[in-house]
Amino acid sequence: MPVEVTKPGLATTVQDRGREGYYHVGVPPSGALDQFSLVAANLLVGNPADAAALECAYMGPELRFTESTVVAATGAEVELRLNGEAQPGWTSFAVASGDVLTFGHIKRGARMYLAIAGGIDVPEVLGSRATYTLGGLGGHEGRALQAGDELAIGSAGDGAVGRSVPEDLWPDLPNELQIRVVMGLYDHLLTDGGRETFLATSWTLTPVADRVGFRYKGAELDMVQREQPFGAGSDPSNIVDAPYPIGSIQVPGGVEPIVLHRDAVSGGGYAMIATVISADMDAIAQSAPGSRTRFVAVDLEAALTARRERADRVSRLQGVLD
Amino acid sequence: MSTADATSARYSWGADEHLFVEMDEAMSLEAYFRSMAVVTALRERRPEGVIDICPANASYQVRFDPDKLAPDRLESLMREIEAEVGDAHDFEFETRIVEIPVLYNDPWTHETLMRFRDRHQDPEATDLEYAARINSFDDVQGFIDAHSSAPWMASMVGFVAGLPFLYQMVSRERQLEVPKYVRPRTDTPALTVGHGGCFGCIYSVKGAGGYQMFGITPVPIYDPRQELPDFKDFVCFFEPGDIVKFEPIDRDRYDELRGEAEDGRISIRQKPVTFNLEQFTADPDAYNERLLDVLNAG
């Protein structure tokens, strides 16, 4: 196999753009949490935008190549070394048989994406190569990579070295984030004060931040005291189990809001009070534990405008790398 | 027929990719079937841009691509369907009734629940003893009888892949209700038959959980490698709308079925049925008997 995993990193998974159409039976979309960085890494090495690459959370893997190819790393800012020699991010470079690729400590952001020309060749499951670890589905044996794993690579296309993404297209990776949300769903279960607190608090991301969800701390939100509807459960934050939108924010017990991401649990009994707009899900993916987030309420129109702006950014990326 | 006041649902946006619709705040078969009726009609029309149609207990969600389907167009379509569906009292759909064998009071969930007694409302009792007591049964067997006699509707599938939420097809007064654990467990055996609030469930995979644990089924309900015959077409067994009958089994039968599962030749007993809400509502117990006759025929 062309790639050997000598050290797995903290949580390295095979991801592509995700699988759609199975959320109604609890299979979430999965795929790269930071989709922009995935697309960039793929285009840099001449892959289609939806090829499978490695998503590396917090601490990257050590990989040994047994064939020469072209690779590129995007996403979080990190020291990247090939046989000990520093390599630039957001730039494609050649690796030769026997080369060892390592990642240093992350300086900013939380997730790196490593694309290899030809894409990671794992079997498609339900139309995607993305790993859904909770369900043991897709990716490399349905799980995060382990030391000793070997990865196959698809047949490479036009894998030119030395291509790069201009810096103005890199994500910001701030330590203080403003994340836009559309309020709604069950936000009527918050008191006016609870709603104000939610939007006024500078929330700190806890270490409980993985592909399923991102948990924050910073304040307690007042919930409306009511007689609970039949089947809803006894806590004021409980509802009759309902579907959870990707990006929805639930607040179990009124404390520690959780933003669900692309490996979301698909439903449950906690009131959701808002949903992160699709354009800001990449930024959530790159927020690191300890970073601070303010949630900013916008309306649906603004969410759609932001969505168009993000699509324009992807088009610019494609324009630069085509 | 539309009966606007009795049936007006609540619409809300899950940002730019989800429309969430709550039929009722409270759980009821009426709210569930209205949601199913709307979802069924949407599936038939399925406009371009709809990604996922997720029915739930008393609500549903449509995941969509707003670049292909404008949110206001989707909302007006859903309101139009809601009006057409009305109270859905005559809703009818094709589904199946399936038999899930259960070893109640099994050693594996027992071992697990003993490890988490400090997170339970009643550390001195087992989950079954506690559930029997607070639902006013004389003993555990009475509770098991109630749990395994009337069938259940898979009113939602999810949380994790393939996990059915089950609502028993009996009147509200006869619903079994048990609170979730005081603090969730970090472990639940795969295929545990659980219960929280008014919902039963079958844990499709091993993992964290807060539902009370009553027993375990030997039959896999999720097979990501698609090795068993029931999973040739898809990785999850359950779909929303499935009707489930729990069948109490003893340890010998459990071991036998586990053996079949491990040999890759087990399959879940199931029969196709047409479910008619009007006939069910007229006499639920008699209708359930007829459903069980279908399951047990031949």
pLDDT of residue B2: 38
Q: Compute the Cα dihedral for B178, B179, B183, B184 and give only its sign.
A: positive
The pLDDT value recorded for residue A304 is 98
Q: Is A32 exposed, middle or buried (0-12, 13-18, 19+ CB in 10 A)?
A: buried
| H/E element, B246 | strand B243-248
Of A234, A243, A303, nearest to B59 by CB-CB distance is A243
| CB of A224 closer than 8 Å to CB of A273 | no
Q: Is the pLDDT of residue B1 over 50?
A: no
* C-alpha pair distances (Å), A74 with each of A14, A25, A280: 15, 33, 17
Report d(CA B80, CA B65) in Å as an integer. Answer: 20
* Alpha carbon distance A302, A305 (integer Å): 5
d(CA A152, CA A310): 32
Q: Do B199 and A184 touch (CB under 8 A)?
A: no
Domain boundaries, chain B: 4-88, 94-296
- Could you tell me the pLDDT band of residue A165, with boundaries at 50, 70 and 90? very high
Nearest CA in chain B to A182: B15
Domains, chain A, ranges and CATH?
Answer: 3-169 (no CATH), 176-312 (2.40.100.10)
**Does A182 contact B51 at a Cβ distance shorter than 8 Å?**
no
Q: Within 10 Å of residue B223's Cβ, how many Cβ atoms?
A: 21
pLDDT at residue A234 is higher than 90: no
Instruction: Return the pLDDT at B3.
Output: 39
- Test the B interface: residue of A182, A241, A277 with most B CBs within 10 Å: A241
Q: Given CA atoms B24, A185, A35, A299 in this order, what sign does their dihedral have?
A: positive
Residue B157, beta-bridge partner list = B164
Which residues from B are below 8 Å from A181, CB to CB? 15
Q: ipTM value, please give it.
A: 0.96
Q: Which residue of B has its CA nearest to A131?
A: B224
Which of B17, B158, B179 lies nearest to residue A234, judging by beta carbons?
A: B179
Bridge-partner residues for B200, per DSSP? Answer: B166, B195
Q: Evaluate if residue A149 carries a pLDDT over 80.
A: yes
Q: How many Cβ pairs closer than 8 A exist between chain A and B?
A: 185
Kindly indicate the confidence band of residue A158, based on its pLDDT and cuts at 50, 70 and 90: low
Task: Enumerate the residues of chain A whose CB falls inside 8 A of the CB of residue B28.
Answer: 230
Shortest CA gap B162–chain A (Å): 5
Phi-psi region of B182 (alpha: psi -120 to 50; beta: other; left: phi over 0): alpha
Within 8 A of B203 by CB-CB distance, chain A residues are none
B176 to chain A: which residues are within 8 Å by CB? Answer: none
Q: How many residues does chain A have?
A: 322
Residue whose tokens read 């569930």: B32
pLDDT at residue B182, rounded to an integer: 86
**In whole numbers, what is the pLDDT of chain A averaged over residues?**
96
Q: Is A3 helix (H, G, I), strand (E, B) or coil?
A: strand
Average pLDDT over residues A207-235: 94
Asked if A149 and A159 touch (Cβ cutoff 8 Å), the reply is no
Encode pLDDT of B204-230 as tens digits: 999 988 999 999 999 999 999 999 999
Mean pLDDT of B197-209: 94
- Residue A160's pLDDT is 85
CATH code of domain B4-88: 3.30.1360.40
Q: Mean pLDDT over residues A233-251, rounded?
A: 93
Residues of B in contact with A132 (CB under 8 A): 161
Least confident of A112-121, B204-213, B236-245, B253-262: B204-213
Q: Give percent of chain B with pLDDT exceeding 90.
A: 93
Residue type present at position A124: E
pTM as predicted: 0.95
Query: Considering Cα of A54, then A60, then A65, then A69, what sign does the dihedral take?
Result: positive
DSSP B222: B
**Is residue B172's pLDDT more than 50?**
yes
Q: Nearest C-alpha of chain A: how many angstroms from B298? A: 30
Question: By percentage, how much of chain A surpasses pLDDT 70?
Answer: 99
Q: pLDDT (tens digit, 9 = 90+) per residue, A36-54?
A: 999 999 999 999 999 999 9
d(CA B298, CA A21): 36
Contact B235 A126 (CB under 8 A): yes
* Paired strand residues for B275: B93
Q: What is the pLDDT of residue B270?
A: 97
Region A104-109: mean pLDDT is 95
Suggest the residue from B13, B23, B199, B238 to mutate for an interface test with chain A (most A CBs closer than 10 A): B13
Residue pLDDT, tens place only, B89-138: 999 999 999 999 999 999 999 999 999 999 999 999 999 999 999 999 99
Question: In the 8-state DSSP scheme, what is residue B178?
Answer: B
Cβ partners under 8 Å of residue A170, min gap 6: A90
> B94-296 sits in which CATH class?
mainly beta
Give every CB contact of residue B160 below 8 A, 6+ residues apart in sequence.
Answer: A26, A134, A135, A265, A266, B204, B205, B207
